[in-house]
Structure 1
């Protein structure tokens, strides 16, 4: 149990530090953290149905609708009809949304390079494997 307690505290500490960094970066862009996360998911998955986007983000479709409305107003995303299912709408990044995603993704990569600089390649691979397994359990 002591290892689990230490792991718990370390994960909470890492989450808090990452959240603080993320909030500082996003605030400078005039976006909320939720809006930036929406751009991140869209940047990774490209065109996606609203229902799937909400699932990836762990939020309701109602909450997502408000996020997408605001991002659409800022010209970062657009809604398009789904050609294979007329009942659903796809959301995708606009050109400016893609640029914002790419810029933010570069900041993430730079952060990952900085915080893993003292890890060997095999330690980085092990870390990736552990994170992938933890993500799969959600």
Structure 2
């Protein structure tokens, strides 16, 4: 197998493995009432004062209508709450509840462990090369998405 074929093989399998492992690691007994997709919505809402539906939908690259269905479920399960803006009552901000913050931090911890595992046995120069490679891959995804 050539180096190019090995890289291709690793990338193809890595994406699938990350998705499967993330679901197993994130959707624990404590968070069994949500999906991996719900967890990514919680991540998009983020910590702090929250975001409106349009901002969250853009982060997720989905329509506001699609987000509404998931958001309704997350509100019912007490992971997020809706709050009307004091300045403009038409604007509804979404914020994480205490339960949502706990889920967010759980998800963040998985990503930190994954990133640390990727660089744990690398020199500083190797980490720079990996970062450049990942940035190139990201640029490819963004340009491919915009074609």
CA RMSD of aligned residues (A): 2.5
Question: Would you say 1:110 and 2:113 are equivalent positions?
Answer: yes
Write the distance in 2 (CA, Å) between the matches of 1:58 and 1:133: 21
User: Which structure has the greater CA radius of gyration?
Assistant: 2
Deviations 1:14-56 (A, max 9, x none): 1111001111123322120110001112226751110110111
Work out whether residues 26 and 32 of structure 1, in 8 Å CA contact, stay in contact via their aligned partners in 2.
no
| Alpha-carbon distance in 2 for matches of 1:67, 1:43 | 16
User: What is the TM-score with the length of structure 1 in the denominator?
Assistant: 0.81
Partner of 1:63: 66
Contact 2:47 2:96 in 1 (8 A): no
Per the alignment, residue 19 of structure 2 pairs with 19
Q: How many residues were matched structurally?
A: 137
Match of 1:49 in 2: 52
Show the counterpart of 2:145: none
Q: Does the CA contact (< 8 Å) of 2:47 and 2:95 recur in 1?
A: no
Indicate the SS of the match to 2:46.
helix
- Normalised by the length of structure 2, the TM-score is 0.77
Residue 119 to residue 64, structure 1, CA distance change in 2 (3 Å): same
Gaps of 5+ in 1: none
How far has the Cα of 1:63 moved from its partner? Answer: 1.4
**Correspondence for 2:41 among 38, 43, 62:** 38
Aligned match of 2:125? 122
Q: Which moved more, 1:70-79 or 1:40-49?
A: 40-49
Report the counterpart of residue 93 of structure 2 in structure 1: 90
Q: Deviations over 1:37-89 (max 9, x none)?
A: 01112226751110110111111111111111111111111111133443321
